Amino acid sequence: MTLSIVRNAPLKSLNTFGVAANAATLITLEHEAQLPELRPALAAEPAPFVLGGGSNVLFTADVPGTILRVRLRGVRIVSDDARGVIVEAAAGEDWDGLVRWSLAQHCYGLENLALIPGTVGAAPIQNIGAYGVELSDVFDSLDAIDLGSGKTATLSAADCAFGYRDSIFKRPGPNRLVLRVRLRLSRTAPARLSHGEIGQALHAAGVDNPTPADVADAVRQVRMSKLPDPARLGNAGSFFKNPIVSAAHAGQLLAEYPGAPNYPAVLAGVAARKLSAAWLIEACGWKGVREGDAGVDARHALVLVNYGQATGAQLIGLATRIRASVHQRFNIRLEAEAVLLPTPEGWGP
Ligand code: EPU
């Protein structure tokens, strides 16, 4: 099958925000056998935007360049011994599908990351994380092709330089396309309950010695109770990152608002505090606010939602006003967690 290349392609069904926009060119990679065709197809633009499940992107306007949609499939167990089980999944696999598959195979470690929308290939880009676990905790390695040179290389966790919602893929450098990811799972992983909410949900359900399946169920239940389902209400999960501020800055805030959630973090190698963007946004009065079809979710202030016909411009307009009011009140500049494409003025790094 030849590579699919569509000009002036509609993107509405390819992003969970459900925003209407067009891409000048949309290339869909279905099989690795199509890779030899890919580089010539990208000759005019060797740095396409790579799209997985479209669950962490806001199309702020039409995209003048090329979008490369990755739909490579396949999951397998590579090795299974005393050191653990190495599971390999192709970049286009659905992340939650992999979580379910691994549990069914009695391979544990992904429970806390259940129900995160998106694809396997997108997971290392922003080092997905939830409920006390990040991808980097279970990551083994990945294979990526350099779209410039055409060479494929294997990257270790150290090579990927994972951070909070961050990795080497977000920084300037070679144009790498993730082809497959390998995870180190376990036959015996103990339940990871460091995030109190999951322990509380299990306790409330009367589960004393939770199995990994119990943890995954609790995570699903907690997520469903507080995060809107993108299949019903357009959204891209957390729109902003939780800001990391100096200990002194956090101290000032906490003196005034002792109840503000805050967690240990590191900023430029120095002990700092991570604050809750949702709390800051809610404190500025934005929770549940609706402007036309663009809004701030009524249950979780970190999630912007599209009630139907909101445009990318309307959503980024709302985000800009939220950011300005958080900055004015707390002197904290929120950064987008979702990818903004094209990057609007004032939202660059
Ligand atoms: N909070 C508020 N107002 C709200 C929502 C939350 O004050 O409207 C407070 C909560 O009471 C809590 C704190 O904010 O004290 C943190 O809330 P939550 O546990 O929901 O987590 P979060 O920091 O807002 C992060 C991730 C989520 C992940 C959860 C659970 C980021 C940007 N987001 O959210 O990831 O599911 O932790 O681990 O780090 C995503 O990336 O799309 C995403 C949903």
Q: What is the CATH number of domain 75-185?
A: 3.30.465.10
- Return d(Cα 221, Cα 243) in angstroms, integer: 26
Domain boundaries of the chain, sorted by first residue:
4-70, 75-185
Per-residue pLDDT tens over the stretch 68-77:
999 999 999 9
Per-residue pLDDT tens over the stretch 212-232:
999 999 999 999 999 999 999
**333 is an active site residue:** no
Q: CATH assignment of 4-70, given 3.40.50.2300, 3.40.50.720, 3.30.70.20, 3.30.43.10?
A: 3.30.43.10
Would you state the structure tokens that stand for residue 258, as one six-digit string?
């002792």
What is the DSSP annotation of 260-324?
Answer: --EEEEEETTEEEEEE-HHHHHHHTT-TT-EETTEEE-SS-TTEEEE-SS--HHHHHHHHHHHHH
Per-residue pLDDT tens over the stretch 64-115:
999 999 999 999 999 999 999 999 999 999 999 999 999 999 999 999 999 9
**232 is an active site residue:** no
For the cut 90, the answer to whether the pLDDT of residue 236 exceeds it is: yes
Q: Strand, coil or helix: what is 214?
A: helix
Would you state the structure tokens that stand for residue 117, as one six-digit string?
């929308």
Would you state the structure tokens that stand for residue 179, as one six-digit string?
């082809």
> Tell me, what's the pLDDT at 190?
79
> Tell me, what's the pLDDT at 348?
84
What average pLDDT does this structure show over 247-260?
Answer: 96
Q: Give the Å distance between the CA of 65 and the centre of ligand 1.
A: 33
Mean of per-residue pLDDT scores for the chain: 96
Q: If pLDDT is split at 50, 70 and 90, which confidence band does 347 have?
A: very high
Which atom of ligand 1 sits closest to the CA of residue 197?
A: 19
What average pLDDT does this structure show over 5-25?
Answer: 98
Beta pairing partners, 28? 4, 69
By C-alpha distance, which of 272, 326, 306, 345 is closest to 16? 306
Contacts of 171 (CB under 8 A, 6+ apart): none
**What residue's CA is closest to ligand 1, atom 10?**
279
> Tell me, what's the pLDDT at 133?
96
**What residue's CA is closest to ligand 1, atom 27?**
130
Distance of CA 282 to the CA centre of its chain: 22
Exposure class string for 257-280: b at 16+ Cβ within 10 A, else e:
eeebebeebeeeeeebbbbbbbbb
Q: Which of 93, 111, 134, 337 is an active site residue?
A: 337
Measured from CB, residues less than 6 Å from any atom of ligand 1 are 130-131, 227, 237-238, 241-242, 261, 276, 278-279, 282, 287, 300-302, 337
Would you state the structure tokens that stand for residue 142, as one six-digit string?
């990945």
Strands 57-59 and 339-341: parallel
In contact, 57 and 66? CB cutoff 8 Å? no
Q: Which of 88, 141, 238, 323 is an active site residue?
A: 238
Q: If pLDDT is split at 50, 70 and 90, which confidence band does 200 have?
A: very high
**238 is an active site residue:** yes
What average pLDDT does this structure show over 173-185?
Answer: 96
Per-residue pLDDT tens over the stretch 138-173:
999 999 999 989 999 999 999 999 999 999 999 988
Would you state the structure tokens that stand for residue 311, as one six-digit string?
């445009």
Q: If pLDDT is split at 50, 70 and 90, which confidence band does 22 have?
A: very high
Which atom of ligand 1 sits closest to the CA of residue 297?
A: 8
Per-residue pLDDT tens over the stretch 270-329:
999 999 999 999 999 999 999 999 999 999 999 999 999 999 999 999 999 999 999 999
Residues 101, 102, 103, CA angle at the centre, nearest 5°?
90
Q: If pLDDT is split at 50, 70 and 90, which confidence band does 44 have?
A: confident
Which atom of ligand 1 sits closest to the CA of residue 242?
A: 32
Measured between alpha carbons, how far apart are the two ends of the chain, in Å?
39
Q: What is the pTM of this model?
A: 0.96
